[in-house]
Amino acid sequence: MTKLSVNINKIATIRNARGGSLPNVVQFAIDCERFGAQGITIHPRPDERHITTMDVYDLQKVVTTEFNIEGYPDKRYLELIRSVKPTQATLVPDPPNVLTSNAGWDTIKQKNFLSEVLKEIQSLGVRTSIFIAPNVKLIESAADIGVDRVELYTGPYAVDYSSNKAEAIKPYVLAAETAEKCGLKVNAGHDLNLENLAYFKQKLCQLSEVSIGHALISDALYYGIENTIQQYLYQLR
């Protein structure tokens, strides 16, 4: 079974546009779980343009499924992981000025850096995952540095899906097979939606978890969050 983790960054973005607490990020996370989400994902960036540091601690108190905190492993991020001890820490190689995560780690060039960070996080009893392109060499290197999971960056798949989905999925199938051989669990995220998710799941039987935010929250504007979560869960079945 592939778990659905709902990324709630966009809810915080809407709240921050006006200040105050509407919509309420904590209540939204509680409701997502009540409606069937099997995880809550956040990415607290240094400029706090959506999820704030206070949000992290508030969510820690209420999330009862898997709590996944994404981010670049700088001092601030690691302090949050030490304090909160989420279910999973997903390392993303994005500097503070980028709009969204749009590239994976080079696990060969950054092997030493990642290895040290992963060991520290794992010593806290936190599961580790790294954002990565569907590249066999990089995945094999990820296994060498001791990460628990890889999160396949699905941006290119989403872009190419409508023109040739069979070709778009090929590198991901190979990547998932490689990860499985290396003893790694497979997550995925970025631009997955109601149109392309079912095919992705169908072709990757190894898929443990998907983290979806932008498309899911956008769909919820039309369908409502409860109905939307159920639609995404249906695609994963």
Active site residue 33: no
Instruction: Name 189's bridge partners.
Output: 153, 211
55-73: pLDDT as tens digits:
999 999 999 999 999 999 9
136-157: pLDDT as tens digits:
999 999 999 999 999 999 999 9
Tokens for 225, please give them: 């969050």
66-120: pLDDT as tens digits:
999 999 999 999 999 999 999 999 999 986 666 565 679 999 999 999 999 999 9
CATH superfamily of 3-236: Aldolase class I (3.20.20.70)
pTM of the model as a whole: 0.95
**DSSP conformation letters of 109-173:** TTHHHHHHHHHHHHTTT-EEEEEE-S-HHHHHHHHHTT-SEEEEE-HHHHHHHHHHHHHHHHHHH
Active site residue 190: yes
pLDDT above 90 covers a percentage of the chain that reads 95
> Catalytic: which of 33, 66, 151, 190?
190
Nearest residue to 90 (alpha-carbon basis) of 116, 127, 135: 127
Q: Return the pLDDT at 163.
A: 98
> Catalytic: which of 33, 43, 66, 209?
43
Active site residue 50: no
CA angle, corner 192, sides to 225 and 39, nearest 5? 55
